[in-house]
Amino acid sequence: GHVRHLLVDEYQDTNLVQHALLKHMALDGKEFAIDSLCAVGDEDQSIYSWRGATVANIMNFKKDFKNTQTVTIETNYRSVQP
């Protein structure tokens, strides 16, 4: 078989090569070549610019991957009060 679903976590910390690789894996031209793509990230938590990460990847995600939906999680479930 072939890869049909992709999930990328911490997308705000990807670099240009990783972004290009994801486009190559997920798209055929500008159309999706896979069944699903999920990228998780927070543009306010990018910490790896010193190793080539660019927050522009997550900021431009909807432009590079058309017909995607953004799901925003407003509650911080990692550090809630008991």
> What would the pLDDT profile of 33-80 be if each residue is shown by its tens digit?
999 999 999 999 999 999 999 999 999 999 999 999 999 988 877 777
23: CB partners within 8 A, 6+ apart: 64, 65
pLDDT of residue 82: 67
Q: What is the mean pLDDT of residues 6-23?
A: 97
pLDDT of residue 23: 97
Per-residue burial over 3-23, b if 16 or more Cβ lie within 10 Å, else e, is eeeeebebbbbbeeebbeebe
pLDDT of residue 61: 96
| Chain center to CA of 77 | 20
pLDDT of residue 76: 79
9: CB partners within 8 A, 6+ apart: 40, 41
Q: Which band of pLDDT confidence, cut at 50, 70 and 90, is reported for residue 2?
A: confident
